[in-house]
């Protein structure tokens, strides 16, 4: 076992971990942050995507111990129960950008990074950039609507009545 101390969603956290513990398992089982989902454990599906020092990373392809002294953000950092949704979350809700919700947390974290580094994307570029987050439910169209809306405030599609 080894001692690690890191910042998770803005809070300093210290823990004992077996070095082989995956960051995804540490977040889910160690910190009870079950919003980070695990869909493949070999880097392809993107469900486990979190931000490490602000950059997206597959938490299934990182050891928890590698996150020692780093800052990790998960979907739980975006908004808290009771308060309003983060604008990206709100755009997903408005545009029906999720169905079963399993891919959603990882996707949201990728969009947070996209918004920070490539905010001027069109629909095709959004599709290119987010191709590492697989969604099996939505067929992506509504996700692209949501991301477009989140990136530039242009109404992707929100005909809620």
Ligand X SMILES: Cc1cc2nc3c(=O)[nH]c(=O)nc-3n(C[C@H](O)[C@H](O)[C@H](O)COP(=O)(O)OP(=O)(O)OC[C@H]3O[C@@H](n4cnc5c(N)ncnc54)[C@H](O)[C@@H]3O)c2cc1C
Contacts to ligand X by CB under 6 A: 43-44
Q: Which of 99, 115, 129, 157 binds ligand FES (CB under 6 A)?
A: 99
CB 156 within 8 A of CB 91: yes
R_g (Cα) of the chain, nearest Å: 16
Contact between 43 and ligand FES by CB under 6 A: the answer reads yes
Strands 49-52 and 11-17: unpaired
Q: Which of 7, 13, 71, 79 binds other proteins (CB under 8 A)?
A: 79
**Residue 97 burial (CB < 10 Å; 0-12/13-18/19+)?**
buried
CB 59 within 8 A of CB 22: yes
| Closest to ligand X by CB, 40 or 80 | 40
In this structure, which long-range contacts are made by residues 58-61, counting pairs with CB atoms below 8 Å and at least 24 apart in sequence?
59/22, 59/23, 59/24, 59/27, 60/22, 60/23, 60/24
| Closest to other proteins by CB, 101 or 153 | 101
CA atoms within 13 A on the CB side of 19: 1
Contact between 136 and other proteins by CB under 8 A: the answer reads yes
| Closest to ligand X by CB, 12 or 42 | 42
Contact between 144 and ligand FES by CB under 6 A: the answer reads no
The interface region with ligand FES, picked from 63-71, 83-91, 92-100, 122-130 by CB under 6 A, is: 92-100
Contact between 131 and other proteins by CB under 8 A: the answer reads yes
Question: Angle CA(72)–CA(75)–CA(81) in degrees, nearest 5?
Answer: 125
| Closest to ligand FES by CB, 30 or 39 | 39
The interface region with ligand FES, picked from 2-10, 33-41, 117-125, 150-158 by CB under 6 A, is: 33-41
Which residues bind to ligand FES, rule: CB under 6 A?
A: 38-41, 43-48, 58, 60, 98-104, 135-138
């Amino acid at each position: 076992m080894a001692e690690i101390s890191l910042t998770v969603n803005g809070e300093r956290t210290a823990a004992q971990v077996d070095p082989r513990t995956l960051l995804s398992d540490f977040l889910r089982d160690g910190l009870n942050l079950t919003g980070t989902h695990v869909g493949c454990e070999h880097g392809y599906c993107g469900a486990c995507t979190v931000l490490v020092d602000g950059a997206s990373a597959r938490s299934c392809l990182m050891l928890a111990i590698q996150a020692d002294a780093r800052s990790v953000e998960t979907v739980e950092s975006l908004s808290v129960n009771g308060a309003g949704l983060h604008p990206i979350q709100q755009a997903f809700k408005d545009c029906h950008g999720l169905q079963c919700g399993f891919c959603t947390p990882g996707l949201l974290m990728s969009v947070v990074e996209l918004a920070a580094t490539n905010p001027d994307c069109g629909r095709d570029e959004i599709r290119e950039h987010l191709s590492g987050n697989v969604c099996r439910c939505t067929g992506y169209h509504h996700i692209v609507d949501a991301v477009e809306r989140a990136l530039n405030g242009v109404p992707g599609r929100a005909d809620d009545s």
